[in-house]
Amino acid sequence: MPGADSKKSRRGFMIKNYFSSNALFTDFYELTMAQGYWKENMNQEVVFDMFFRRNPFNGGFSVLAGNETLLDALTQFSFGDDDIDYLRQQGIFEEGFLEYLRNFKFTGDLYTMDEGTVIFPQEPLVRIHANLIEAQIIEGLVLNIINFQSLIATKTARVWLASKKGALMEFGLRRAQGPDGAMSATRAAYIGGAAGTSNTLAGKLYGIPVMGTMAHSWIMSHSSELEAFRAYAKIYPENSVFLIDTYDTLKSGIKNAIIAGGELVEKGYNFGVRLDSGDISYLTREVRKELDRAGFPQAKISVSNELTEEIISTLVAGGAPINSWGVGTHMVTGGNESSFTGVYKLAARHDKESDQMIAAMKFSDNPAKTTNPGIKNVFRLYDENGMAGADILALDGEKLEEGCEYRFYHPMVDYRQFTFKASRIEPLLKKRLEKGVRLVERKDDAVQLRISRENMQKQLASFDESYKRILNPHIYKVSITEKLKDLKVEFITKNIK
């Protein structure tokens, strides 16, 4: 039937973007400020940076995710008639402003790094050029999408590295923060290195491989463990992974799995086992011995149960014979880190008197919260071995040339500085929206996710292992050019009383 596939695709797009495409998905004070700007005729052109202040999990790097979701949301972001009626009921918005919102859409420019880019504190991940009202209203949307997905992608990348880039299964749907949290987490986890997901809807809408076999209830629903294994093997002979810890892993689970699995092998199939509790290190070694003794060295062992990168790293270092990892709670919730520290700050504004864009800067008693002023680009510098050596924040229009030695400065404009001669320089920010319209045609979700995932893997390979350590990682240099340093010092000097 003509149009059926496109109709299904559109329905899937709406499911994924129901909340984020509704312009009420913003903090209320953004709207009160927006009306104030409207009344004061203060809708000048501005530039906002979205950046973050520290790597989560005490880590040495983060992974950017969600910016493709953001592009989708911004191109659909609007107020419906019922949204306008709701705002009218609040009793504080004028009819003229409500009419302005009725026709609202994002008409600015957006620059962002590629999804899957390895990122670091202080550098702009997203740069917004828009009028003040538009830039203000979309703040919550930008931060919500980028912060959460980057948190989960970063967590997953750490787990993936801890497993020595092993087979990672995302099993977090039931522990995620609501339906949208589950969908966003699955998407971000795939970018961060997960090979597949238990989230069936995400599998359909994002093209992510779906995985999973049985739970303890399957085994408990049968009259015996062996009957449960045999029944499953009969139905799914090509995909039998037996959960062996329902009753007793070593006294019954592995023994019954060997019986049912042996019957599968006789028919030309293979099988695997999964453990979801107990001392994983000890049990996997004993299970491996039993499988090998029975003549099934090809049988795989999968584990789950509240796994973290620290636990996985310890198991791998200890030589536990594990072939794949099912990670849920700590992957999709961020575990011990509840949020990504992304912020959205004004970097430049149009000045009526000079009719030019002028730099803006936020001050703070905490130097880490004092922003870098002006419209900025980010460059990644590589050494002669193709390894990333530093990320540099430069004022828009500054050019860095390969093979030239430059002196760079600490973002907090303290005494720290260094020189670097780059063999290759990569600009990280790219223009993705112009006047609210995509510059490159939107890719299919499955294709885009594969590109983002491959980018993450390629990027991580270009960083020294010291930056990727789970514990006590080396701090990667994010520095500023001399021109940006001088501008920042000028701002600070003028404002010190």
Q: Give residue-wise pLDDT tens across range 150-160.
A: 999 999 999 99
The proportion of the chain whose per-residue pLDDT surpasses 90, expressed as a percent, equals 90
Q: Is residue 364's pLDDT more than 60? A: yes
Using a CB cutoff of 8 Å and minimum separation of 24, what contacts does 293-296 make? Answer: 294/258, 294/262, 296/258, 296/261, 296/262, 296/265, 296/271
pLDDT for residue 11: 47
Report how far apart the first and last C-alpha atoms of the chain are (Å, whole number).
73
Report, as an integer, the average pLDDT of 472-495: 94
- As a whole number of angstroms, the distance between CA 14 and CA 19 comes to 9
pLDDT for residue 159: 98
DSSP 408-461: EE-TT-SS-EEEEE-SEEEE--EEEEETTEESSPPPPHHHHHHHHHHHHHHHHH
Report, as an integer, the average pLDDT of 426-434: 98
Q: Is residue 9's pLDDT more than 80? A: no
Split at pLDDT 50, 70, 90, the class of 18 is low
Split at pLDDT 50, 70, 90, the class of 492 is confident
The proportion of the chain whose per-residue pLDDT surpasses 70, expressed as a percent, equals 96
Per residue in 334-360, pLDDT (tens digit) is 999 989 999 999 999 999 999 999 999
Per residue in 116-135, pLDDT (tens digit) is 999 999 999 999 999 999 99
- As a whole number of angstroms, the distance between CA 86 and CA 97 comes to 14
Confirm if 199 and 331 have CB atoms less than 8 A apart.
Answer: no
Tokens of 410: 């600490």
pLDDT for residue 49: 98
Per residue in 22-54, pLDDT (tens digit) is 999 999 999 999 999 999 999 999 999 999 999
Q: Is residue 410's pLDDT more than 70? A: yes
Q: Is residue 3's pLDDT more than 50? A: no
Report, as an integer, the average pLDDT of 174-191: 94
Per residue in 240-270, pLDDT (tens digit) is 999 999 999 999 999 999 999 999 999 999 9
pLDDT for residue 8: 47
| Alpha helices, DSSP H, located in 267-357 | 280-293, 309-317, 329-333
Tokens of 244: 């062996």
Average pLDDT, the chain: 94
pLDDT for residue 327: 97
pLDDT for residue 227: 98
Split at pLDDT 50, 70, 90, the class of 413 is confident
Please identify which residue in the block is written with the tokens 């020294």: 464
Split at pLDDT 50, 70, 90, the class of 497 is low
Please identify which residue in the block is written with the tokens 């010092």: 489
pLDDT for residue 367: 77
Report, as an integer, the average pLDDT of 376-383: 98
pLDDT for residue 19: 62
Look at 302-316, 366-380, 425-439 and tell me which has the smallest mean pLDDT: 366-380
- Of the two residues 190 and 2, the one the predictor is more confident about is 190
- As a whole number of angstroms, the distance between CA 222 and CA 256 comes to 14
Q: Is residue 202's pLDDT more than 60? A: yes
pLDDT for residue 15: 46
Q: Is residue 83's pLDDT more than 80? A: yes
Closest CA to 442 of 455, 453, 433, 429: 433
pLDDT for residue 323: 97
Per residue in 288-333, pLDDT (tens digit) is 999 999 999 999 999 999 999 999 999 999 999 999 999 999 999 9
Q: Is residue 494's pLDDT more than 90? A: no
Q: Is residue 94's pLDDT more than 60? A: yes
Split at pLDDT 50, 70, 90, the class of 277 is very high
- As a whole number of angstroms, the distance between CA 228 and CA 205 comes to 32
Distance set, CA 361 to CA 60, 124, 346, 416 (Å): 27, 14, 7, 21
Report, as an integer, the average pLDDT of 457-461: 98
Using a CB cutoff of 8 Å and minimum separation of 24, what contacts does 37-42 make? Answer: 37/132, 37/133, 37/136, 38/96, 38/97, 38/100, 38/133, 39/94, 39/97, 42/132
